[in-house]
Amino acid sequence: KFTNAEGEDKTVYAGQLIDPTGQCKSSMWCDVGITEDELPIVVRLENARIRAWQGIPDVTIDNANQVIRLEQKPWQDINVENHVIEVDLSELAKSGSRVGISTVATVVSVRDDCGIIWRCPECRRTLSDDNCQVHGDVVGTRDIRMRMVIDDGQASGSVIIGSEPTLAFLDTDLSGFEDMLAEKGQFGFAQSLRERLLGRQLKVDGRSIVDDQGMMIIANVIEAVEVDAVLAATESRSKWGLN
């Protein structure tokens, strides 16, 4: 809810749209008559506007007449809880920012600053010596983050893994993670990640942000991909015409 320039109280409803090609955000500047207990429902949108947030499409609905309910689905069932589209990393690098993607590439770098970080309680920016670039000296909020770079031979991108997917990947909880850091130290923790992941394939689910500085993926889930070495060698020889 907010108050506009005319002093009127307004409400913006935020939602998520999905179809077989992917998903995106939606902003509804009116009550479209859909209650949460009805979801998910199938609709057709007419004359909607497309805006962008961090380069990711946001479908904007200005009045309820733009939303038409459909009785039948024009496609097969979609898993609304975990709907992701598999996309090559090189294709992601050439396209705009996207939500709900899954890609596989090789880990080529793990950053030293993996582990505990401190964020500004106001804007969530990472602090440097208890200082926020926007809000100055603040008492930070502790968070967990891993950062690495993946490459598929044609394109590369940074991967940011937050607290929940980090703990899930390491198969631990916050207490176990703190014990791990206490034992290894932050640099030792990053080094253990390098030993585990460098040169290995990683499956990353999340959203991609593509801008002038390159590509970044905010991960919801990461998973190490087990590769059959014999099969991989056979495919490589076949690809390059070797006996």
Rounded Cα distance between 114 and 188, Å, is 10
Per-residue confidence at 236, pLDDT binned at 50, 70, 90? low
Task: Look at residues 12, 67, 59, 11 and name the one whose alpha carbon lies nearest to residue 41.
Answer: 67
Q: What is the pLDDT of residue 2?
A: 67
Task: Look at residues 54, 57, 70, 53 and name the one whose alpha carbon lies nearest to residue 17.
Answer: 57
Q: Are 69 and 41 in contact (CB under 8 A)?
A: yes
**What is the domain partition of the chain in residue ranges?**
2-69, 85-237
How far is the CA of 210 from the CAs of 7, 19, 97, in angstroms?
37, 22, 5
Tens digit of pLDDT for each residue in 127-147?
Answer: 988 899 999 999 999 999 999
Q: What is the pLDDT of residue 154?
A: 93
Q: What is the pLDDT of residue 230?
A: 61
Rounded Cα distance between 50 and 55, Å, is 11
Tens digit of pLDDT for each residue in 192-232?
Answer: 999 999 999 999 999 999 988 889 999 999 999 987 656 65
Q: What is the pLDDT of residue 7?
A: 73
Tens digit of pLDDT for each residue in 35-76?
Answer: 888 888 888 999 999 888 777 788 999 999 999 888 888 887
Give the right CATH number for 85-237 from 3.40.630.30, 3.40.50.1700, 3.40.50.300, 2.40.50.140.
Answer: 2.40.50.140
Tens digit of pLDDT for each residue in 4-21?
Answer: 667 777 788 888 888 888
Q: Which is it for strands 2-3 and 9-10: parallel, antiparallel or unpaired? A: antiparallel
19-23, 79-83, 210-214, 239-243: which range is least confident on average? 239-243
Q: What is the pLDDT of residue 222?
A: 97
Q: What is the pLDDT of residue 15?
A: 86
Mean pLDDT for 81-88 is 86
Instruction: Give the whole-number percent of the chain exceeding pLDDT 70.
Output: 91
Q: What is the pLDDT of residue 216?
A: 95
